[in-house]
Amino acid sequence: MEVKTAPPLVAVNGSKIDREAKTVDLLFLAENGEPYALKFHVHAIPAAIIALTGHRAELQSSLPDGEVLSNQALKPVGFHIAMNPEGQIAWKMMLQSGLELVIQIEPDRFDRLDAMFDEVRSLLKRSVQ
């Protein structure tokens, strides 16, 4: 079987779904600066995620102690609080790539989350001065 190989894909720039075809397109920027799209049928998505995650772990384990692989930053462009019909609270972030990241927050974690935001505010004040 002949396989077409794209240049290394260095950034996810977005995604879109085709409900009728049951596919997800991931939009990438390649190392050579050109855009690429990979189309995944829903059937293949879990296996692709497992393969990518597993191989990334292999790459990480091959590095010297203390060295870590870099990650593309997830850049939020909007935040909202959401609640599902069962009354569970979630933090919905809209990412620059167009994806939405929903993080469900357990009620007993709000005090810790609030303390973490106080810590962030304190760090921001120090860096501005």
Computed over every residue of the chain, the mean pLDDT equals 90
Whose CA is closest to 99, among 12, 8, 6, 32? 12
pLDDT higher than threshold 70 for residue 72: yes
Neighbour tally for 26: CB within 10 Å: 19
Mode of pairing for the β-strands spanning 35-41 and 76-83: unpaired
**Which pLDDT score is estimated for 86?**
85
- Residue reference for tokens 């004040």: 125
**Sheet strands side by side (includes 100-105):** 76-83, 89-95, 100-105
Whose CA is closest to 95, among 2, 8, 7, 14? 14
Q: 129 or 118: which carries more pLDDT confidence?
A: 118
Residues of the chain above pLDDT 90, percent: 59
What residues are paired with 106 via a beta bridge?
Answer: none
